Structure 1
Amino acid sequence: MNTKKSTNYLSEYLQIFLGIILTSLGLKAFLLPNGFLDGGVTGIALLVRTQVDINMSYLLVLFSIPFLVLGFFTVSKRIVVKSIVSILGLALFIHFENIQTITNDKLLISIFGGLLVGSGIGIAIRNGSVLDGSEILGIYLNDKFGISIGKIILVFNIILFSITAFVISVEVALYSILTYIIASKVTDTVIEGFEDFIGVTIVSKEYDLIKIAILEELGTGLTVYKGSSGFGSKGEAEDFDIIHSIINRIDIKKMYRLIKEIDPNAFIVEFDVNSVKGGVLRHYINKKKNKNLEILKANISKSKN
């Protein structure tokens, strides 16, 4: 194994370790002492813990086993190994951590418990591990029946919180739903990143001018696809460039304005982007002193003449 791979593995496990710490803090300092639940397998363990006097760490491992076995046949072995390490690590932290309850305010418990648990689970998932087996169940049923993973997990948790309302109380169930919503949103944010990028595809007869405007005014990179023919409101079009670019969401209004000034009839497709690596983002292009940009402008000017 080379040095780069070893460094990557070390970085992944260190981040998973951080995720374990955050999740265990959320459970021990907020949710566990107050009988609140999160979703998924953790929620099942917390619910059972309110009814029987068994250590939470044992319940977490016990209820995770069926999902890990399922994961052995549905996801990569590397993910299963990492998940086993992560779940055992979380169970050990819960078992040996001795943290005092920080607050008895139910709203604060839901909010900060959800923040910590969601952050921990998100960091673990981002590094190829699972701290909650319900995601593995979602992957399996999605592969088997084509049902979306989000819907599977949602139904799973609706059943869990309905049982909570019946067994414990409606109030605890409602606060637990709030905890789950916060945790899931934080998990998504950690996985997808804090920066919100958008993909934009532009089809216009004035593609040359639009390319220059994007490069000069937004300073972001773009990719050009060659379009051979198409048919739209203006009839048939041939031999045109299709512009594809990734920009930060805060720049989307400016991009629309630039395109509208050049071609009000341009066809624009906007779509969400979860992860971006490489390329030119966030104004890395020097818009004022860029020889390549000047050459491109000169070539476009010649072709127009």
Structure 2
Amino acid sequence: MKTTNQQPTTVRTSPRWKQPLISTGCVLFASLLMSVNIKSFVRAGNLIPGGFTGLSLLLQRTAETFFGIVLPYSVINIALNAIPAVIGFRMIGKKFTSYTVLMIVLNSFLVDLIPVTPITYDPLLVSVFGGILNGTAISIALFGKASSGGTDFIAVYLSSRLHKPSWNFVFGINVVILTTAGFLFGFEAAMYSIIFQFVSTQTINTLHRKDQKATMFIVTRHGAMLEQKIMECTRHGITHLAVQGCYLKEDKDMLYTVLGEDEVKEVTALVRSLDPEAFINIIKSEGIAGRFYEEPLE
């Protein structure tokens, strides 16, 4: 048995001009989708969607209801995200934080500019479909290596450190925000907001697969070749074991590796193209401890 942990000289990379286009496109679309969601579903149901978006809406509504002051959403949201953005630059990555700041600014001003266009006033439909749109918008931003800011910074940072999804932890923080909203404006809207946030969290967990891990066992006659190609593709370490098939008594190799669920399809296709007779077993990993390569957010 041998464990292969050295970094290969060839690494899967996208052209340098391609990633900025993808990130910018994702940020633009996610900002528009989130803004439309706020003005169509969130406003219609008087929901507080959680996170700094929800906190901004809560402060805006509190100022207007109790003090008669109309504050622009853009001013509140940008001000609240200032400190998390500084922390993001230092602890997460400059490019990731830069695209996130772009999304915060775009979303903030779009919310002020887009007219209110309610689709339905049914609170349950608003909570469910609004939550789906919110989770989809955040997932698109994450695919573009950005986020919607605020508590998303916490989720991304914890996920990179713990090697597992942390969006449910952020959901717990949001419940505190929503409980506060319940005391101020009534618990019916707050409870529907919790449904909204729960649906949003589960949508992210479903669509954003990078934080979820899978264990892959590959039985092949071409272990040396496959281990090198897989490492060039993913940069993850591989354990190489010499095994014997019990039916034909043939000596074979078994490769064991852990990778992100978003990489499973690509690695499976790679193995199939190099060894069509390879046997692949994929198992969901609940958690890992130890060294695991994470693509830097920069």
* SS of residue paired to 1:201: strand
Unaligned runs of 5+ in 2: 1-13, 65-70, 224-237, 244-250, 279-298
Matches within 5 A, 1:93-112: 93-112=110-129
Quote the offset at 1:55 in angstroms.
2.2
Q: Deviations over 1:66-88 (max 9, x none)?
A: 21122122111111111111100
1:12 is aligned to: 23
2:241 to 213, 224, 227: 227
Structure 1: runs of 5 or more not aligned: 212-223, 230-238, 247-270, 297-305
Change (3 A) 1:145 1:166: farther
Among 267, 287, 294, the residue aligned to 1:279: 267
Paired AA for residue 264 in structure 2: V
Tell me which amino acid in the other structure corresponds to 1:38. P
What per-residue deviation string (whole Å, max 9, x for no partner) do you get for residues 59-110 of structure 1?
2112111211221221111111111111001012111112421111111111
User: What RMSD in Å do the two structures reach over aligned CA positions?
Assistant: 3.9
Show the counterpart of 1:86.
103
Q: 2:87 aligns with which of 59, 66, 70?
A: 70
Q: Which has the higher contact order (CA 8 A, sep 6+)?
A: 2
Task: Say which of 200, 210, 215 aligns to 1:199.
Answer: 215
Which of 199, 203, 213 aligns to 1:186? It is: 203
SS at match of 1:278: helix
- TM-score under structure 1 normalisation? 0.65
Q: Deviations over 1:192-223 (max 9, x none)?
A: 28xx9953438xxxx779x9xxxxxxxxxxxx
Identity among equivalent pairs (%): 20
Contact 1:30 1:113 in 2 (8 A): yes
**In the TM superposition, what are the counterparts of 1:5-44 in structure 2 within 5 Å?**
5-44=16-55
After superposition, the Cα gap between the structure-2 partners of 1:282 and 1:170, relative to the gap in structure 1 and judged at 3 Å, is: farther
Q: Give the number of aligned pairs.
A: 237
For residues 197 and 134 of structure 1, the distance between their equivalents in structure 2, rounded to whole angstroms, comes to: 22
SS in 2 for 1:43: helix
SS in 1 for 2:267: coil
2:254 match: secondary structure:
strand
Q: Quick one: structure 1 residues 187 and 226, their matched pair in 2 at CA, closer, same or farther if it must change by over 3 Å?
A: closer
Distance 2:35 2:62 in 1: 21
Structure showing greater radius of gyration is: 1
1:262 aligned partner: none
Write the distance in 2 (CA, Å) between the matches of 1:14 and 1:148. 25
